[in-house]
Amino acid sequence: MTLKAQSTQETENLTATIDNSMIGDTAQSSQQLSYRHAFMLVLKRDLTIAMRHKDDIINPLLFFVIVVTLFPLGIGPEAQTLSRIAPGIIWVAALLATLLSLDRLFKSDHLDGSLEQMLLSPHPIFILVLAKIFAHWLITGLPLILIAPLLAVLLHLNEQSYTALLLTLLLGTPVLSLLGAVGVALTVGIKKGGVLLSLLVLPLYIPVLIFATSAIDTAALGLPYSGQLAIIAALFFGSLTLAPFAVGAALKVSTN
C-alpha cells in the first residue's frame, strides 16, 4: 500500500515538476532541460519501485537459469552437442525471460492510475515511454547479460564466442524490451493479457534471434561477425526510433 502511494506520489511530483518547468522563465531552455529531467524522473521512479520489489528482478533471472539448465537434462550431457546448441538455448531462454518480465512494464502503473497521469502530462509520451523501457532493460536485460557467461560455461560454449555472446546480448536485449513494450502496451487493458502477449511479441523477436545466434556461431568458427552485429545494431536503432511511437499510440488505445 505504501509503495503504491509512493509511486503515485512520485508521478504527481513528475507532473508537478513538468508544470513548474512550463511556467519557468525562458521557454526554450527550460523545455530542453525538462525533457532530460522528465526522462530521469521516470527512470528513477521505476528503478526505485523495482528495488522495493526485488523478486521482480530475481524471478525472471531464476527462470532464465532454470530453463537453460533444463536443456542439458533433456538433451544429454555430451559437451559437443551442448556447445553446438548453446547460443540458441541461451538466446531462446533470454527471449522467454524477457517475455516473462514484460508484464510489469505498464501493468502496475495501469492498475494504480499513474499511467493515465503520465499520458495526461504535457510532455511527449515518447520521452516517458523511452524512460520506462530503459528502466525495464536495466532491471531485466542487464542482469541477463551479467549472468549469461556463467550459463555459457555450463553449456560448454566455444571459448571464442564469449565476446560475441556478450555483444549480441548487449545490442539485442534492448530490442527485446522495445518490441515487447509495444505488445504490453496493446494488452495492458486486457484482463488475461499474458498468453496473448507472447503470441503477439514472439514472432517479432525472430530476426534478433536469428542474427544473434548466427553471430555467435560465426564467432565460434573464428570468422568475423561484424556483419551480424551491424544488423542487430540496425534493428536496435530502428526499434529505438519507431517503437516508442507505437507504444504511445497503443497506450492511448488501451487506457481509454
Partner 1 sequence: MWKWLHPYANPEVSYHFTNKLLPWLSALTAIFLSIGLVWALLFAPADYQQGHSFRIFYIHVPAASLSMGIYVAMAIAAFISLVWQLKLADASAAAMAPVGAAFTAIALITGAAWGKPMWGTWWIWDARLTSELILLFLYLGVIALHNAFEDKNLAGKAAGILTLVGVVNIPIIKYSVEWWNTLHQGSTVSKLGKPSMSLDMLWPFIFCFIGFALLVAVIICLRFRNEILARNSIRPWVRELIQKNTVNNT
Interface ranges with partner 1 (CB under 8 A): 179, 182, 186-187, 189-190, 192-193, 196, 199-200, 202-204, 206-207, 210-211, 214, 231, 235, 242, 246, 249-250, 253-254, 256
CB of 207 to partner 1, least distance (A): 4
Nearer to partner 1, 11 or 254 (CB): 254
**Residue number with CB closer to partner 1 (139 or 164):** 164
b/e code 73-89 from CB counts within 10 Å (16+ = b) = eeeeeeeeebbbebbeb
128 vs 186, which CB is nearer to partner 1? 186
Q: Please say whether the beta carbons of 134 and 44 come within 8 A.
A: no
Q: Considering only CA atoms, which of 129, 237, 124 is closest in space to residue 188?
A: 129
Render the burial of 2-22: b for 16+ CB within 10 Å, e for the rest: eeeeebeebbeebbeebeebe
* CA distance linking residue 248 with residue 244, whole number of Å: 6
Whether residue 188 contacts residue 107, with contact meaning beta carbons closer than 8 Å, is answered with: yes
Shortest Å distance, C-beta 204 to partner 1: 5
Minimum distance of partner 1 from residue 49's CB (angstroms): 26
Q: Which is nearer to partner 1, 33 or 190 (CB)?
A: 190
Q: How far is the CB of 200 from partner 1 (least distance, A)?
A: 5
Closest CB to partner 1 among residues 66, 242: 242
Q: Which amino acid is at 10?
A: E
Query: Shortest Cβ distance from residue 98 to partner 1 (Å)?
Result: 17
